[in-house]
Amino acid sequence: MQGSGARGVLGVPDVRRIVLVGLLVSIARWLEMLVIGVVVWQQTNSAFLVAMMTLLRLLPMGLFGAFLGVAADRVQRRSALLAMLVVQGCLAASLAALALSGVLAVWHLGLASFISGIVWAADNPVRRMMLGEVVGASRMARAVSIDVVANNASRIAGPAVGGTILAAAGLGPAFLLCAAMYVLAVLAALRLSHRSVIQPPRGGVLRDMQASFGLVLRTPGMAGVMIVTLIFNLFGWPVSSMIPVIGQEQLRLGPEGVGLLAGMDGLGALLGALLLVPLVRPAWYRAIYVGGTALYCGMFVIFAAITAAIPAALALLLVGIGSAAFAAMQATLVYTTAPPELRSRALGVLSACIGLGLVGFLHLGLMAQWLGAPAATMVIGLEGICALVLTRRWWRAG
């Protein structure tokens, strides 16, 4: 029997391959989001449009998350993962071609963000579900923590590399690097030996989607998990889109400086995830989950109030620690709480809840236009902390 620690989990070849795919995709995603944020701000000087780029990436989660959770049970997940990677690689190559031709427009970036969001919405019911199938429920927390370590390592590399390439070589090479990451991810996915069990349909897709939401209401403790997910995505994650704006407008940083600043969030998340791998215990799952959300929102309030680069970077380091705690426990709690035969659907509902964060991005974008990016970030972070306090009775259950 393999060990239950990080070494034992990583001893499974398919775990290494699934985590590597996630790492490569995350590097490309964070690089792409940073580049798009900087470019849209430079072209439009609109914090609202910067937030809208991330909103368009989130919209498919809210629209299609539950559907993708149902659909993922009806296809071979390895094949679905390969298709997802090919689509993203083609998108990145297309953006590179448009940029090198000098015809890249904001609407191109918006359309690409929306299509990428459809693929992103399938990550939980496809790739993360595969991770759970390979390691089993008892080792899911450590496997997800390792995946979060990889994801947050990419949050350092992606923004830092993106800012450097954007400043030194321009848009085209930055998007070409994204395309290269997706090609490497395809090569890693082709080596996966795991094959999922395709479940026969229990009914129509719409009926199964309705049953997925009923599962959340019926399963003890799961409603609280989804409520904290909604709070994080309504009042927490949207403010991360303001890092490029605050970095340029309030801290007076150039593209390289903004990339390094955004990377501090990733560094904190990497440190937090590394701590979770050896220390996490089932009895602590919910406390880590809620505490991470509170830390994330609270430190963004402080970040937005700071006018010096180094203290702002330290605040983002703590933001990252909070995001690691939230991210590691989110999929773990859903996977371990849901009945085994309904886990993919529950992860689809989770993606739908994440997608509802688009309301938060819309809220933030409008408020940033009215109050400015720093003040809007502070207000929304405080709203998140208040929401956690008001929903205490639900997230404590389970």
Residue 216 lies in a domain: yes
Please tell me the distance from the alpha carbon of residue 51 to that of residue 373, in angstroms, as a whole number.
10
Residue 269 lies in a domain: yes
User: Which pair of structure tokens corresponds to residue 328?
Assistant: 């590691």
Tell me the three state secondary structure of residue 61. Answer: helix
Q: How confident is the model at residue 7 (pLDDT cuts 50, 70, 90)?
A: low
Residue 110 lies in a domain: yes
> Given this model, what pLDDT does residue 84 score?
95
pLDDT tens digit string along 79-95?
999 999 999 999 999 99
With a cut of 70, say whether residue 138 has pLDDT above it.
yes
Residue 281 lies in a domain: yes
Q: What percent of the chain clears pLDDT 70, i.e. is strictly above it? A: 90
Rounded to 5°, angle at Cα 59 from 56 and 63: 155
Residue 1 lies in a domain: no
With a cut of 80, say whether residue 236 has pLDDT above it.
yes
The whole-angstrom distance between residue 50's C-alpha and the CA centroid of its chain comes to 17
Q: Which phi and psi angles does 161 have, rounded to 5°?
A: -65, -40
Residue 284 CB partners (closer than 8 Å, separation 6+): none
Please tell me the distance from the alpha carbon of residue 332 to that of residue 149, in angstroms, as a whole number.
14
Residue 199 lies in a domain: no
Structural domain harbouring 112: 10-191+205-395
Residue 332 lies in a domain: yes
> Given this model, what pLDDT does residue 89 score?
95
Q: How confident is the model at residue 260 (pLDDT cuts 50, 70, 90)?
A: confident
Q: What is the mean pLDDT of residues 242-266?
A: 81
> Given this model, what pLDDT does residue 1 score?
35
pLDDT tens digit string along 302-323?
999 998 889 999 999 999 899 8
Closest by Cα among 21, 359, 3 to 182: 21
Q: How confident is the model at residue 2 (pLDDT cuts 50, 70, 90)?
A: very low
With a cut of 80, say whether residue 169 has pLDDT above it.
no
With a cut of 70, say whether residue 394 has pLDDT above it.
yes
Residue 257 lies in a domain: yes
Q: What is the CATH number of the domain that holds 216?
A: 1.20.1250.20
User: Which pair of structure tokens corresponds to residue 174?
Assistant: 């930055």
> Is-contact 178 32, C-beta < 8 A?
yes
pLDDT tens digit string along 340-356?
777 777 888 887 788 77
Buried b (16+ CB within 10 A) or exposed e, 205-236: eeebbebbeebbeebebbbbbbbbbbbbbbbb
**How many Cα neighbours within 13 Å face the side chain of 8?**
14
Neighbour-count burial of 193, counting CB atoms closer than 10 A to its CB (0-12 exposed, 13-18 middle, 19+ buried): exposed
- Average pLDDT of the chain is 83
pLDDT tens digit string along 178-200?
999 999 999 999 999 988 877 66
Please tell me the distance from the alpha carbon of residue 209 to that of residue 17, in angstroms, as a whole number.
30
Please tell me the distance from the alpha carbon of residue 251 to that of residue 257, in angstroms, as a whole number.
9
With a cut of 70, say whether residue 151 has pLDDT above it.
yes
With a cut of 80, say whether residue 161 has pLDDT above it.
no
Our count of domains for the chain comes to: 1
Q: What is the mean pLDDT of residues 128-157?
A: 80
With a cut of 50, say whether residue 46 has pLDDT above it.
yes
Q: How confident is the model at residue 224 (pLDDT cuts 50, 70, 90)?
A: confident
pLDDT tens digit string along 94-109?
999 998 998 888 899 9
> Given this model, what pLDDT does residue 201 score?
61
pLDDT tens digit string along 52-84?
787 788 788 878 887 888 788 888 999 999 999
pLDDT tens digit string along 266-297?
788 878 877 876 666 777 888 899 999 999 99
Q: What is the mean pLDDT of residues 253-258?
A: 79
With a cut of 60, say whether residue 5 has pLDDT above it.
no
> Given this model, what pLDDT does residue 387 score?
95
pLDDT tens digit string along 9-40?
778 899 999 999 999 998 898 888 878 887 88
